[in-house]
Amino acid sequence: MTYTLNTITLEPLSKKKPKNAVILCHGYGGDGKDISILAGYWRTYLPDTIFICPDAPERCAASPTGYQWFDLLDQSPDQILSKSLVAESKLNELIDEVLKKNNLISNQVIIGGFSQGCMLTLQTGIKRKDKINSIIGYSGKIINAEHLSKNLNSRPNILLMHGEQDQVVTVDAFLEAKDFFGKNNYAIESKLFKDCEHRIPTEGSSLGLQFIKKNFK
């Protein structure tokens, strides 16, 4: 099955029609293959789930072998927001394709991402009017709180995770996101990992799996 974006697709291990879907978005300079490693681990325990791991639509300005959802180099906050809205439309198109091609409804879809992929999934998932099931965010942040606060169109469950020693997206971003969603009365779970830098630790993948299993019941 093909989609508008180039994807790594892991079909259900059960060989049956998918009961639900997980879409995972990689970080800045990565690709779908990178984050499909996480999907491959989760897939073992979710045999009726299809996993979609897209490549972002643009080649990365800082790492030409990888991809970016939007450019981060020498960009003002307004420029970053503007470019993120283009990426948001691409991710929304992919979500709609996944729903249609697999005969699923929005509550049967969880989206997640790492770093820039986390930023995009938070913005996209919250703004969608048809509520997706949940969002899992690793090592990311809210792109533009003012913009998002004006577009709180749905209330998916949210799990945010972050490394305490992250120097790429600092822990302040995690705390700000946690505070934003708390103040706006979202059902949010969070985990801060000690002695962890900008990565997904083993505990983080396990917590993500538990969160998916709980919300897909």
Tens of pLDDT, residues 166-176: 999 999 999 99
Strands 109-114 and 58-59: unpaired
Q: Which one of 31, 55, 84, 115 is the catalytic residue?
A: 115
Domains of the chain: 7-215 (3.40.50.1820)
Going from the C-alpha of 7 to that of each of 49, 69, 126, 171, the distances in angstroms are 16, 14, 23, 30
Active site residue 48: no
Report the largest interatomic distance among the alpha carbons of the chain, rounded to a whole angstrom: 47
Residue with tokens 């979500």: 95
Active site residue 149: no
Tens of pLDDT, residues 24-66: 999 999 999 999 999 999 999 999 999 999 999 999 988 889 9
pLDDT for the residue 19: 98
CA triple 32-34-189, angle to 5 deg: 90
Q: In the predicted model, what is the mean pLDDT of the chain? A: 96
The total number of residues written for the chain in this structure: 217
Q: Which one of 48, 106, 190, 198 is the catalytic residue?
A: 198
pLDDT at 217 over 90: no
Active site residue 154: no
pTM > 0.95:
yes
Tens of pLDDT, residues 145-204: 999 999 999 999 999 999 999 999 999 999 999 999 999 999 999 999 999 999 999 999
Tell which wins on pLDDT, 183 or 217.
183
Structure tokens at 139: 């090592």
Q: How many helices (H) and strands (E) does the chain have?
A: 6, 9
